[in-house]
Amino acid sequence: MVLAAAFVLGACGANSANEGNEEGNSGAATDRTTSEEATPEAEAASIKYYNFDNEEQAKSTRALLDQFEQENPNIKVEHVVLVPGNSVEMLKKLDFLISSGEEVDVVSIPSLNAVMERAARGALAPLNELYEKNAIVPEDEYYVNPQIDGTYYGMQYSTGYQFVLLNKDALDAAGLPVPKYGWTWDDFREYAKKLTKDKMYGTYFHTWEMYQNPPAQTIMRDPFRYQDGTTHFSDPTYKYFFQLRKDMESIDKSAKPYADVIAAKLAYRTEFFNGEAAMLLSGSFMIPDPGNVEQYPHTFKTAFAPVPLPPEHALPKEYEGGKYFVGGGHVAMGATSKQKDASFQLMRFLTTVDSEARMEFSGWKKADHEAVLTRLIGDKADMYDVESLKSTLFGSDIQYLDASQVVTTFGSQLAKIQSDGFSRFMLSDESIDDVQKWMVDEATKVIDENK
C-alpha cells in the first residue's frame, strides 16, 4: 500500500486493503453531472467498472451502481470483479487487459503508487479536460490527487486510516489505560511486555511493508523517499525500528517471531480475534471486524489507539509534527475507454455519493466521516470502545499530511529492497549498519535508473 498522502493514515491503514468520508444528498446534486446535463457521448453509454470486490463488497458496489443508473438512465454499468479480494493479482490481470487493448472504462486501483505506475505507462486517461469541462478543482475536492507534471489521473475513492487495535479485556486485566495520541513506540514495547501472558503475545506483526518500519509508512509523506527524491532508507527510523522488532522477539518475547510468521503464513485477523495477540497495528478496513463475531468469534471488546510516534531520538528527518499519512484507493479511467464523459460521471458519483450502501470512508473532502463509522459499527457497539475509536480517527490532535510531491512509479522495486533488507536483519546476525547501507545503495541504484 504505497500511498503518498494517508490508508491513514489510512494505516494503518494500513493499509490494500490487504491491507475509506462523504457528504449528504443536499450537496451531492451540485457536485455530479445529472442525466439532464449529460453530454451527447454519455447519453447512450454502456461502460464497465473493474475492481477486486469480495462477495460481500460486491453487493454494496452493485447497490451503488444501481443508484447511479437510476440517476443516469442513459448509462448502463457492468460490474466486473477481476480477482475477488486480492488487489495484487487484480492489478496483474488489469495490466494484461490494458496491454491487450481491452477497452477499460473505470477501474478501482488500491493505492496512489499503483495509479502513478500505470499513468506513467500511458495506461490511464488524463482527467484535466474533464475536470475543466465540469468546473471542478481537484484540490478542493479530494485529499490526494494523483498527477504527473500537472496532469491528473485519478480520483480518491476511499481514505484509509492506520491505527492500533487493542484487546480491551487484556488492557483492563493488566491495569493499562487505552493509549492516546502522543504515545511512542517505546511505550508500545512496554505495553506489549505487560500484555504478554500464557498463550497471548503482546502484539503481532504481519508480513507487509507497514510492519517493517511503521514510522516510514505512517508519518512520512512517501513510504520510501524523501521529498528531494532520494531514498530515506538511511533515516534514523529504520535503525530504530528494525532493532525494536528484533528485540521484542528475541529479548522481550512479546511478539511472535518473524520466521514463524513467514513459515506458518498466519492470518493477522485470526491472531488478534483468537486472542493470540493483544495488540495489532492495522487500518480502517478492519473497523467492521470486532462486530463480526460470526466470522471472528470472540467475546472481548476492542479498543483503538493512534499509531505510536517514534521517540525523540528516532524522529524522521522530515518529521512534520506528528501528522499522519492518509492513504486510500482511487478510481481511474483507462486510456482505451471510448466513453470518457460517462466514465467521468461514474467516477464522480462513486467518489461523492452518500449512500447507505457505502461502507468505506470517502476520499472526498466534503464527506461525513461519522455517518460512515456508524454504518460500519452497526448494532454491535457493545463490541467496541467507541470513544477511543472516534478519538483515534477524529480527535482534535489528529492531523494528516499533505500529498507527497515525489512521483514514484517504481515503488514495488523499493518495497522489495526494504523487505529483503528487513529479512536479512531479522533472520541473520548481519548488523543493522551493514543492512541499512545495502538498502541505501540498492535503492539509490533504482532511483538513478529511473531518473
Q: DSSP letter string over 14-76?
A: -----------HHHHTTTS--GGG--GGGTTEEEEEEE---HHHHHHHHHHHHHHHHHSTTEE
pLDDT in tens, 5-55: 333 333 333 333 333 333 222 233 233 333 334 444 445 799 999 999 999
Model confidence at 206: pLDDT above 90: yes
Q: How confident is the model at residue 109 (pLDDT cuts 50, 70, 90)?
A: very high
**Residues 58-95 pLDDT 10s:** 998 999 999 999 999 999 999 999 999 999 899 999 99
The DSSP symbol for 406 reads -
> Out of 100-104, 174-178, 366-370, which region has the weakest mean confidence (pLDDT)?
366-370
DSSP state of 219: S
Summary count for the chain: helices (H), strands (E) = 17, 10
Segments in 219-368 forming alpha helices (H): 236-247, 258-264, 268-273, 340-352
Q: Is the pLDDT of residue 309 over 90?
A: yes
Half-sphere exposure of residue 103: CA atoms within 13 angstroms, side-chain side: 9
E strand spans, 82-158: 106-109, 147-148, 151-152, 155-156
- Exposed e or buried b per residue across 207-246, where buried means at least 16 C-beta atoms within 10 angstroms of its C-beta: bbbbbbbbbbbbbbbbbbbbeeeebbbbbbbbbbbbebbb
Look at 53-57, 213-217, 307-311 and tell me which has the smallest mean pLDDT.
Answer: 53-57
What backbone phi and psi angles, to 5 degrees, belong to 44? Answer: -140, 65
Residue 224 CA to residue 231 CA, distance in Å, equals: 6
Q: Are strands 302-305 and 279-283 parallel, antiparallel or unpaired?
A: unpaired
Cell of 257: 517471531
What mean pLDDT comes out for the span 389-417?
A: 88
261 and 136 in contact (C-beta within 8 Å)? no
Please state the pTM of the whole predicted model: 0.77
Write phi, then psi, for 281 (nearest 5 degrees): -75, 125
Q: How many CA atoms lie within 13 A of 79 on its CB side?
A: 18
Grid cell of 348 as nine digits: 464522480
Mean pLDDT for 304-332 is 95
Q: Is the pLDDT of residue 332 over 70?
A: yes
Signed CA dihedral, 442, 1, 206, 166: sign only: positive
* 332 strand-pairing partners: 107
Give the 3-state secondary structure percentages of the chain, helix then strand then coil, rounded to 5. Answer: 45, 15, 45
Fold (CATH) for 25-160+326-377: D-Maltodextrin-Binding Protein; domain 2 (3.40.190)
Closest CA to 67 of 114, 9, 25, 11: 25
The pLDDT, as a whole number, for residue 148 is 86
Cα separation, 273 vs 165, whole angstroms: 10
Query: Phi and psi dihedrals of 389, rounded to 5?
Result: -65, -45
Whether residue 22 contacts residue 353, with contact meaning beta carbons closer than 8 Å, is answered with yes
Q: Which of 151, 112, 101 is nearest to 335 (CA)?
A: 101
d(CA 169, CA 203): 14
Q: Out of 3.30.1330.200, 2.60.40.1120, 3.40.190.10, 3.30.830.10, which CATH number does the structure's domain 162-314 have?
A: 3.40.190.10
Distance CA 98, CA 89 (A): 14
**Residues whose CB falls within 8 Å of the CB of residue 6, separated by 6 or more in sequence, listed in order:** 13, 143, 144, 159, 160, 161, 162, 218, 324, 325, 326, 327, 328, 400, 401
**pLDDT computed for residue 43 by the predictor:** 59
pLDDT the model gives residue 157: 92
Average pLDDT over residues 308-336: 95
- Output the nine-digit C-alpha cell for 384: 467496541
Listed in order, the ranges of the chain carrying CATH 3.40.190.10 are: 25-160+326-377, 162-314
Radius of gyration of the chain (CA): 22
Range 204-222 average pLDDT: 95
Mean pLDDT computed over every residue of the chain: 89
pLDDT of residue 13: 35
